């Protein structure tokens, strides 16, 4: 039988803490589909406002951003705050066409100890347009095409900004079992490897020593501080 102290240490001992991967690619490139394929043993939490959008769409045929947007954003902020407090492994799902926002979010994560990786899902624009029309949540085609052009421009830049960078081709017939297995192995190695960020390494060691389970157990953190980080995360 485990002792009470072992229960306290369960979270900090879990694989994948202080690990995060940004999923990048144009709208309708298949990022969410790739995430499902690469879930892995650590099951990273997905950070994406669309999670709540899709939830409300199921129950309200008259769904609109004006009706639910504020609520969705607040729920996403609360969810992310809880994830960060528990240092959970994360998938950051978004188009990433705004490089300043991506680097700001990467900096926030690194400031509290995270190692950051990126997967670039590269899908030809014609394929993305076709898939966009076939899925339940259709985005404007002009927006999709602009998103594709911008993310393509940023691909090389991101590859230099992220030490752990993987490109996955997701055109028709390209996401084969061989490609999935290769990418899965890379990401599983990343999520289960030792923490390299010196802040994360020091935090884990000190939290283990003190029997702490959450960031807010430390004197230097509280939920207000984490909330400010999350507010900065979603700043335009």
Residue 58: give its domain's CATH number.
3.40.50.300
- CA 145, CA 128: separation in Å to the nearest integer? 9
- The pLDDT value recorded for residue 136 is 66
Residue 126 domain-assigned (yes or no): yes
> Residue 10: is its pLDDT beyond 70?
no
Residue-range definition of the domain harbouring residue 115: 14-233
Residue 4: inside a domain: no
Number of domains forming the structure of the chain: 1
pLDDT band at 39 (very low <50, low <70, confident <90, very high): low
> What's the pLDDT at 217?
93
Taking residues 60-71, report their average pLDDT. 85
What is the C-alpha separation between 46 and 23, in angstroms, rounded?
Answer: 10
pLDDT of residue 3: 46
The reply to whether 91 falls in a domain is: yes
More confident residue, 7 or 216: 216
Q: Give me the phi and psi of 131, to 5 degrees please.
A: -65, -35
Band the pLDDT of 1: cuts 50, 70, 90: very low
| 7 vs 207, more confident | 207
**Position 33 in a domain:** yes
Q: What's the first-to-final CA gap in the chain, in angstroms? A: 50
H-helix or E-strand spanning residue 198: helix 198-210
Domain-embedded: residue 7: no
What is the mean pLDDT of the segment spanning 52-63?
Answer: 83
Is the pLDDT higher at 52 or at 45? 45
Would residue 6 count as lying in a domain?
no
Whether the per-residue pLDDT at 2 is higher than 70: the answer is no
List of residues 6+ apart from 222 with CB closer than 8 A? 216
Render pLDDT for 143-165 as a digit per residue (tens, 0 to 9): 889 889 999 999 999 999 999 99
Any domain includes 81:
yes
Q: Helix (H, G, I), strand (E, B), or coil: what is residue 138?
A: coil
Q: What is the overall mean pLDDT for the chain? A: 88
* Domain contains 205: yes
Report the length, in residues, of the chain. 236
């Amino acid at each position: 039988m485990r002792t009470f102290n072992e229960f306290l240490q369960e979270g900090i001992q879990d694989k994948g803490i202080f690990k995060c991967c940004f999923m990048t690619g144009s709208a309708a490139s298949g990022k969410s589909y790739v995430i499902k394929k690469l879930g892995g043993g650590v099951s990273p939490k997905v950070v994406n406002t669309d999670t709540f959008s899709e939830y409300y769409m199921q129950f309200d045929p008259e769904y609109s951003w004006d009706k639910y947007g504020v609520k969705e954003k607040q729920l996403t902020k609360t969810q992310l705050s809880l994830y960060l407090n528990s240092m959970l492994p994360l998938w950051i799902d978004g188009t990433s066409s705004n490089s300043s926002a991506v680097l700001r979010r990467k900096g926030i994560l690194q400031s509290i100890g995270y190692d950051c990786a990126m997967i670039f899902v590269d899908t030809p624009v014609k394929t993305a347009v076709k898939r966009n029309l076939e899925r339940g949540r259709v985005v404007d085609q002009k927006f999709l095409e602009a998103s594709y052009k911008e993310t393509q421009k940023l691909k090389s830049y991101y590859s230099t900004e992220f030490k752990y960078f993987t490109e996955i081709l997701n055109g028709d017939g390209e996401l084969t079992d061989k490609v999935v297995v290769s990418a899965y192995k890379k990401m599983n190695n990343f999520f289960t490897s030792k923490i390299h960020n010196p802040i994360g390494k020091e935090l884990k060691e000190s939290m283990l020593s003190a029997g702490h389970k959450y960031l807010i157990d430390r004197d230097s953190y509280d939920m207000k501080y984490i909330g400010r980080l999350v507010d900065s995360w979603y700043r335009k």
